[in-house]
Chains A and B, each alone.
Chain A
């Protein structure tokens, strides 16, 4: 019923004739008869816009939007200033293709250049690319960047988000490369074990800061261990934390990667998100994906182009470092608009509020009988230990009834909590009250 074809059936026929054909069938004469479809099997009739609107609203209503979200683990509910969606909804940005024609794409190109600057500044690294799919693929691409002929192995700390580990392993299956887990000790990377695992085949160590449990790792020490063994370090970081924590650049990481979703993107059941990647000047030619560079036009006017394309698949084909083509350009712009709106003080405030609220929640939960699982400094996530798995489940169920999405159950009574700037003192107190009721 619905379609977006402008021509009436009569016009279509006229065009066919003008093109020298009598019927649509003639256009498809190269399609073998035996594979021609009579009609799409078991397929619904088309519907109108009004009907599809109703249909999708009904489906959306089967999802529950929680009033309070205390769950993170890779996806975070932060405040998104209205200006962010206002800007990124502009049809030119939304419906443009990759900026191959630079003369009419300066808006997109400049916005990516600004995004690259933001990411380089946030991470303290020299250079950034224009984005990859998400934080996990950024880590996998980062591991790829570090591989050399004789050094192909990736050491992944056990405190890295298991979703990231899974993606790094899947990518490594493609490369026929080995991934080895570095054990954890009391919630942090076991440095002694790490030193034992580092060898001449190790390309890099993948470290997450703050780690999956929210804990702040001894990044400086881990990087020193890796570099001593001539391995590189890929550091996966939460971008909000970079407003206050020591940056990968200051710590001497070789590649900084992360999930950009906290910077202005909704949780949206997991995507689209954006993977950011930054590295040193020395490794710039190993960076995958698009990179925008500044240049001049024939009149000497400043402008921007896609640059260093000799790294990429459309030029190097099977010799390219990565196959990435489409990235998450509009999400990169979202990040840039978010950072422009918040500014340095705004982002620091988000980080400070996250830390303070998470620590306040941890304190209240502790008083309510949910003790911290680890005695380590954390950013805005932390793990508690319930007396039993059943109690943990009971707690989360009780919270759900109060419109609160509690922390993520990790099994064995462990719960991974997160608090961001959007939760209020009252919500945190209600959470603790509820926990107290369950634990009696």
Chain B
């Protein structure tokens, strides 16, 4: 389809502003000489352009989106409505404190409820995404060790099953990354961990349930080993949806963590953001938290403050506020019964699907799984040359969003399935049916699988060519 610039005809924009009502001023400063090339379309054309683009975009509302590790649950409509209240959208972040008591209440309430869910003592809602929360948590760990004069703790231990953001965040925080292998069950290899810790250990980063969808039964031993060595334990909250209301990272021995509000707490992903990645910690780290700390003042309501030994700010202002409003709305609706019920059904849906697929699709690890499970197409690939990618692409022709591919890295030809709690039995049955059909198709005509998909707006794209000769913008004639 045409680019917005290819639809453009000079002079066609709709005018939105009234005429200038004060004397016009022209600046003497050095002014732009380069022509300003922006789209020139009447409003109707803008609308149609994006309507056409929306038809070539797949959202959760369009159907099951079992993208492992991403928790693509349904985004409740009421969240959008509350976040759009003018009292939330049309407020300047630097207004006098007495005029933003509602905003501060949103921060205080969200922080309070997140501490209850996680067993942490304090949260900063400033980080704008999960990776941003990780970076924040690692800076807390760094600040903590330095505050005790312990400059030798320069290493962060990361299991090889971890999300790529974990080691990348550790590097940004100035740590050296020590990768340790997982054992045959996908759990942390305790011996490898014992061998890795020492006086140079700043901490361990762990996802639990882990990235193969299993709850590590040795969790208390793991955090114990790290603490014994003087390190701190970081909890990657990417998989919190499986255990919220069931078990808390704070009780498992974790000292600091992040939550992805755009996963666990139902705020929409927006094609890649905005998210929100609150960073929580135990009391002994709270003095290092960044950004806004809301405090109760006697008689005058809520006041804005900062932590005593704050690491500073992770971004401008207090956080992705509208996203936080949506998450708070969701938490209020769920409440103390709805939160564990959500976790249980996320786990149930994954196990239900796993059970109905496991006779055909080899599972990387045995169940029961948590909220997601990992299939391996290694044998299929060897025998028929049909890969995990081929299976994923075949799903597109059936209108199903594929699972996460080739992650975690420790499983070959991995497909990672996370149905979430908001899918009904019928939807899961359908997805299972389609996956079984594709498996049969793959065995019957393996060659044809490399051609999939056939019915999407575009078919397989040349990614290698795109990276070799990057064309990352439209070029105008002038």
Q: How far, in angstroms, from A155 to B140 measured CA to CA in the complex?
A: 25
List, in ascending order, chain A residues with CB within 8 A of B262's CB: 326
Q: How far, in angstroms, from A269 to B173 measured CA to CA in the complex?
A: 28
Whether A325 pairs with B131 at a CB distance below 8 angstroms is: yes
A selection of 12 A-B contacts at a CB cut-off of 8 Å is A12-B345, A19-B354, A21-B351, A29-B368, A44-B336, A97-B65, A98-B269, A290-B272, A310-B467, A326-B272, A328-B128, A330-B270
Q: Does A389 contact B (CB under 8 A)?
A: no
Whether B99 pairs with A270 at a CB distance below 8 angstroms is: no
B272's partner among A46, A98, A353 (CB-CB below 8 A) is A98
Whether A244 pairs with B31 at a CB distance below 8 angstroms is: yes
List, in ascending order, chain A residues with CB within 8 A of B252's CB: 35
Q: Does B320 contact A (CB under 8 A)?
A: yes
Whether A313 pairs with B50 at a CB distance below 8 angstroms is: no
List, in ascending order, chain A residues with CB within 8 A of B132's CB: 133, 137, 324
Whether A5 pairs with B57 at a CB distance below 8 angstroms is: no
Whether A216 pairs with B129 at a CB distance below 8 angstroms is: no
List, in ascending order, chain B residues with CB within 8 A of A18's CB: 352, 355-356
Q: Does A232 contact B (CB under 8 A)?
A: no
Q: Does B382 contact A (CB under 8 A)?
A: no
Q: Does B193 contact A (CB under 8 A)?
A: no
Q: Which residues of chain A (263-277) have a CB below 8 Å from chain B?
A: 266-273
A297's partner among B1, B70, B461 (CB-CB below 8 A) is B461
Q: Does A185 contact B (CB under 8 A)?
A: no
B415 to chain A, nearest CB (A): 13
Q: Does B199 contact A (CB under 8 A)?
A: no
A233 to chain B, nearest CB (A): 16
Given known A6-B424, A137-B315, A342-B16, contact A95–B333 (CB-CB < 8 A): no
Whether B20 pairs with A167 at a CB distance below 8 angstroms is: no
Residue on B with the closest CB to A99?
Answer: B271
Query: What's the interface size class on A, roughly?
Result: 35 or more
Beyond the given A18-B356, A304-B461, could you list 16 further A-B residue pairs with CB under 8 A, ordered by the A residue number? Answer: A6-B422, A62-B105, A97-B65, A98-B272, A126-B473, A134-B128, A166-B313, A170-B312, A267-B89, A270-B319, A272-B274, A324-B132, A325-B164, A326-B131, A341-B43, A360-B22
Render A122-147 as a binary contact track against B, CB cut-off 8 A, 1 for contact: 10101110110111110000000000
Whether B312 pairs with A173 at a CB distance below 8 angstroms is: yes
Q: How far, in angstroms, from A73 to B95 measured CA to CA in the complex?
A: 11
Residue on A with the closest CB to B450?
Answer: A298
A312 to chain B, nearest CB (A): 8
Whether B128 pairs with A137 at a CB distance below 8 angstroms is: yes
Whether A341 pairs with B16 at a CB distance below 8 angstroms is: yes
A4's partner among B76, B138, B169, B453 (CB-CB below 8 A) is B76
Whether A104 pairs with B421 at a CB distance below 8 angstroms is: no
Residue on B with the closest CB to A28?
Answer: B246
Q: How far, in angstroms, from A83 to B25 measured CA to CA in the complex?
A: 29
Q: Does B201 contact A (CB under 8 A)?
A: no
Q: Does B15 contact A (CB under 8 A)?
A: yes
Whether B53 pairs with A267 at a CB distance below 8 angstroms is: no
B191 to chain A, nearest CB (A): 20
Whether A340 pairs with B39 at a CB distance below 8 angstroms is: yes
Residue on A with the closest CB to B319?
Answer: A271
Q: Does A368 contact B (CB under 8 A)?
A: no
Q: How far, in angstroms, from A11 to B163 measured CA to CA in the complex?
A: 34
Whether B320 pairs with A333 at a CB distance below 8 angstroms is: no
Q: Does B195 contact A (CB under 8 A)?
A: no
Render A295-314 as a binary contact track against B, CB cut-off 8 A, 1 for contact: 11111011111011110111
A32's partner among B17, B142, B217, B351 (CB-CB below 8 A) is B217
A103's partner among B47, B81, B317, B457 (CB-CB below 8 A) is B457
Given known A19-B351, A297-B460, A346-B13, contact A43–B102 (CB-CB < 8 A): no
Q: Which residues of chain A (34-61) have a CB below 8 Å from chain B?
A: 34-37, 39-49, 52-53, 55-57, 59-61
Whether A32 pairs with B171 at a CB distance below 8 angstroms is: no
Given known A103-B460, A104-B456, contact A324–B131 (CB-CB < 8 A): yes
3 closest A-B pairs (Cβ-Cβ)?
A270-B317, A46-B335, A60-B87
Whether B168 pairs with A356 at a CB distance below 8 angstroms is: no
Whether B131 pairs with A134 at a CB distance below 8 angstroms is: no
Q: How far, in angstroms, from A413 to B113 measured CA to CA in the complex?
A: 40
Whether A39 pairs with B457 at a CB distance below 8 angstroms is: no
A397 to chain B, nearest CB (A): 9
List, in ascending order, chain A residues with CB within 8 A of B106's CB: 59
Q: How far, in angstroms, from A96 to B270 measured CA to CA in the complex?
A: 6
Q: Does B62 contact A (CB under 8 A)?
A: yes
Whether A40 pairs with B339 at a CB distance below 8 angstroms is: yes
List, in ascending order, chain B residues with CB within 8 A of A71's CB: 92, 94-95
Q: How far, in angstroms, from A21 to B341 measured CA to CA in the complex?
A: 17
Q: Does B86 contact A (CB under 8 A)?
A: yes
Q: Does B4 contact A (CB under 8 A)?
A: yes
Q: How far, in angstroms, from A309 to B463 measured CA to CA in the complex?
A: 10
Q: Does A200 contact B (CB under 8 A)?
A: no
Q: How far, in angstroms, from A314 to B163 measured CA to CA in the complex?
A: 7
List, in ascending order, chain B residues with CB within 8 A of A41's CB: 116
Whether B214 pairs with A174 at a CB distance below 8 angstroms is: no
Q: How far, in angstroms, from A7 to B36 measured CA to CA in the complex?
A: 54
Whether B38 pairs with A44 at a CB distance below 8 angstroms is: no
Whether B65 pairs with A60 at a CB distance below 8 angstroms is: no
Q: How far, in angstroms, from A397 to B116 measured CA to CA in the complex?
A: 39
The interface stretch among B278-286, B321-329, B438-446 is B321-329
Q: How far, in angstroms, from A64 to B337 measured CA to CA in the complex?
A: 34
Residue on B with the closest CB to A3?
Answer: B338
Residue on B with the closest CB to A177?
Answer: B174
Given known A87-B46, A134-B315, A163-B317, contact A326–B22 (CB-CB < 8 A): no
Whether B332 pairs with A44 at a CB distance below 8 angstroms is: yes
Q: Does B203 contact A (CB under 8 A)?
A: no
Q: How far, in angstroms, from A356 to B18 measured CA to CA in the complex?
A: 14
Q: Which residues of chain A (92-109) have a CB below 8 Å from chain B?
A: 92-108
A255 to chain B, nearest CB (A): 15
Most chain B CB inside 10 Å of its own CB: which residue of A30, A175, A424: A30
Residue on B with the closest CB to A315?
Answer: B164
Whether A108 pairs with B272 at a CB distance below 8 angstroms is: yes
Residue on B with the closest CB to A124?
Answer: B34
A336 to chain B, nearest CB (A): 8
Residue on B with the closest CB to A103?
Answer: B456
B82's partner among A47, A56, A220, A270 (CB-CB below 8 A) is A56
Whether A271 pairs with B317 at a CB distance below 8 angstroms is: yes
A353's partner among B13, B17, B355 (CB-CB below 8 A) is B17
Q: How far, in angstroms, from A6 to B262 measured CA to CA in the complex?
A: 20
Q: Which residues of chain B (210-224) have a CB below 8 Å from chain A?
A: 214-217, 219-220
Q: Does B300 contact A (CB under 8 A)?
A: no
Q: Does B309 contact A (CB under 8 A)?
A: no
Residue on B with the closest CB to A347?
Answer: B38
List, in ascending order, chain B residues with CB within 8 A of A309's CB: 467
Q: Does A195 contact B (CB under 8 A)?
A: no
Whether A266 pairs with B164 at a CB distance below 8 angstroms is: no
Q: How far, in angstroms, from A305 to B88 measured CA to CA in the complex?
A: 35
Given known A45-B335, A284-B470, contact A328–B274 (CB-CB < 8 A): yes
Q: How far, in angstroms, from A421 to B220 measured CA to CA in the complex?
A: 59
Render B33-63 as a binary contact track against A, CB cut-off 8 A, 1 for contact: 1101111110100110111111111111110
B87's partner among A65, A175, A299 (CB-CB below 8 A) is A65
Whether B316 pairs with A64 at a CB distance below 8 angstroms is: no
List, in ascending order, chain B residues with CB within 8 A of A169's CB: 312
Q: How far, in angstroms, from A267 to B92 measured CA to CA in the complex?
A: 5
List, in ascending order, chain A residues with CB within 8 A of B422's CB: 4-6
Q: Does B161 contact A (CB under 8 A)?
A: no
